[in-house]
Structure 1
Amino acid sequence: MSADLGPGLTGLLADRRLLSRKSTAERVAAILRERIAQGSFPPGSRLSEERIGQALGISRNTLREAFRLLTHERLLVHRLNRGTFVRVLTAADIADIYRVRQVVECAAVRAHGARPAPLDDVEGAVEAGRAAAEAGDWAACGTANIHFHQAVAGLAGSERLDDLMRGVLAELRLAFHIMDDPRRFHEPYLTRNRELLTALASGDADGAERMLGFYLEDSRRQLAEAYPEPAGLPD
């Protein structure tokens, strides 16, 4: 079930500049996590240690440690004698991801109501989604949507929650690949993202939280209805 990793590896060559001579497994994991969140490495892709290590200019040991970190985050899976793969989620994974999102994102909106925070990142993600849609780039639109929800979670003002949501939302991006028509899936949420931003900017945190709750339930249901069972890598 391996996929052509050409585009993903091209992106990693650009990411190489982010690594200093004292690069760490955590930095490598952060780069790979973001590439997964951008959809560069689809579910079921086998990650070549040699090719990724060369692209980033890092040692095999560093890369393996990064793989271990991302395996702990449920983004990768190691198959004995076969290598490391991007995980293929199950319907149960989707349900659990949305439980976490409901708790964290709705709490972040409540926190914003109690102590308003700058909305620059939320607004920037809304604008990025609009620009991607106008360009007909629905993969980029999906990435903008991930960044939107990361920014919403960021309204809580917690670095620990930010770290948690980076992993959760990267995992969510793996589910987007199941949607046959990405435009049909993503386009309605562009308007809903802007409506949420408007509610937050106007100080209507209660309204924004209710809106977000319905939004997340609609999104969860769409993915659940599209998701096959069982799902996983073939033996």
Structure 2
Amino acid sequence: MNHESSLVNQLTDRLIAGELPPGVRLSEAALAKEFDVSRNTLREAFRVLGEQGLVNHIPHRGVSVASPNTSDVIDIYRVRRHIECSVLENAPKNHPGAEEMRRAVEAAQTAAAADDWLQVGTLNMSFHNAVVSLSDSSRLMRSFGNVLAELRLAFLKVEVLDFLHAPFVERNQEVLDAYLHETPREAAAKLGAYLGDSERQVLGAYARAGQD
């Protein structure tokens, strides 16, 4: 993996972890020093992230983290339903990715009990990433990583994170239980209903906050 690809992956991971809030300006000098790369390498990474919709470049103002709007949220959830539900419905039983799903659920339950809602959000991303891992497709996983990064940015625009994440900690458990003990099709149906409720919740929060 070259420096540019590695840097893109590292910055995407930070977005998924909620470490780079929407709208924040990214300092070329600081990031080049932190990652020990040239500014040209960093700018090429920014170009790739811009094509993925994760950063915005404004002439004479530099690069800032993208801030998803309502239309972006609708499209993100459309893509999530196509990818996650399809993967889960067609997943083989006893896939090792189920263990990653279980670990994410259990860790999220612990974080929720400690009121660490930012961490709950990160673990929620881990759960859904594990769902897509059931596909055994590295290309699909790379594409979905971009979707998760955009999703995290949308979540971070809604400051009441417990409101967003609390209902879905146990629903992740329900999806996992359905996959393990019922059928992949039933698990996919539960996930589809879950994603619909989550989308409505995020859009409602956007509306209350006056987001576009």
Question: TM-score if structure 2 supplies the norm length?
Answer: 0.94
CA drift of 1:59 comes to 1.1
Stretches of structure 1 lacking an aligned partner (at least 5 in a row): 1-21
Alignment of 1:49-198 (within 5 A): 49-112=28-91, 114=92, 116-118=94-96, 119-198=98-177
Q: Is the 8 A contact 2:26 2:63 kept in 1?
A: yes
The 1:230/1:123 distance shift into structure 2, 3 A limit, reads closer
Q: Is the 8 A contact 1:196 1:208 kept in 2?
A: yes
- Secondary structure, counterpart of 1:227 in structure 2: helix
CA drift of 1:134 comes to 2.1
Q: Is the 8 A contact 1:153 1:161 kept in 2?
A: yes
> 2:17 — aligned with what?
38
Instruction: Name the Cα RMSD after superposition.
Output: 1.5
1:101-148 deviations in Å (ceiling 9; x for gaps): 000001111121x55422111112112211211222100100000111
- Secondary structure, counterpart of 1:85 in structure 2: strand
CA drift of 1:184 comes to 2.0
Q: Which segment drifts farther, 198-207 or 165-174?
A: 198-207
User: How many residue pairs were aligned?
Assistant: 209
Q: Is the 8 A contact 1:49 1:60 kept in 2?
A: yes
- Secondary structure, counterpart of 1:40 in structure 2: coil
Distance 2:202 2:118 in 1: 16
- Secondary structure, counterpart of 1:84 in structure 2: strand
- Secondary structure, counterpart of 1:117 in structure 2: coil
Distance 1:230 1:219 in 2: 17
CA drift of 1:83 comes to 0.2
Stretches of structure 2 lacking an aligned partner (at least 5 in a row): none
Q: Which segment drifts farther, 221-230 or 124-133?
A: 221-230
Identity %: 40
- Secondary structure, counterpart of 1:70 in structure 2: helix
Distance 1:184 1:35 in 2: 22
| Letter matched to residue 176 of structure 2 | L
| Letter matched to residue 28 of structure 1 | L
CA drift of 1:209 comes to 1.1
Q: Is the 8 A contact 1:47 1:83 kept in 2?
A: yes
Q: Is the 8 A contact 2:93 2:180 kept in 1?
A: no
Distance 2:182 2:205 in 1: 35
1:155-191 deviations in Å (ceiling 9; x for gaps): 1111111011000011000011122321122111010
Distance 1:128 1:63 in 2: 34
Equivalent of residue 195 in structure 2, options 216, 220, 229: 216
Distance 1:145 1:197 in 2: 13
The 1:107/1:230 distance shift into structure 2, 3 A limit, reads same
Distance 2:169 2:202 in 1: 17
